[in-house]
Amino acid sequence: MEIKFHFGKKHYEILEWAKLGVALDLTITAISYLPGLDRKKAFNMVDAFQLRGDYDFLNNYIIKDQEFLSYRLERELDKAIREHRDV
């Protein structure tokens, strides 16, 4: 059994980022075609799934993408405001 360990962030090659970006965009676009879902809601579904798991590579991509990061920030800020009003 071989255990690989490295310090710091894992660096991805440009081809890996491109594949991930295309796959994520296609997934969100496909989900957004469902009735009642727009691109933001589709992203929030995918993002909620990846946050429950241990998908650091996907999270690293999302926080570097301006559109996806803005969707996440808006969702989290809205959630914090709702929780604050409930208190």
pLDDT averaged per 10 residues, the chain (length 87): 63 81 93 94 91 84 92 94 91
| Whole-number pLDDT of residue 67 | 93
Note the Cα 86 to chain centre separation in Å. Answer: 27
Tokens of 68: 């996806």
Scanning the structure block, which residue is given the tokens 């796959």? 23
Q: Which amino acid is at 9?
A: K
Element (H, E) at 13: none
DSSP 35: T
Residues contacting residue 65 through CB under 8 Å, at least 6 positions apart: 21
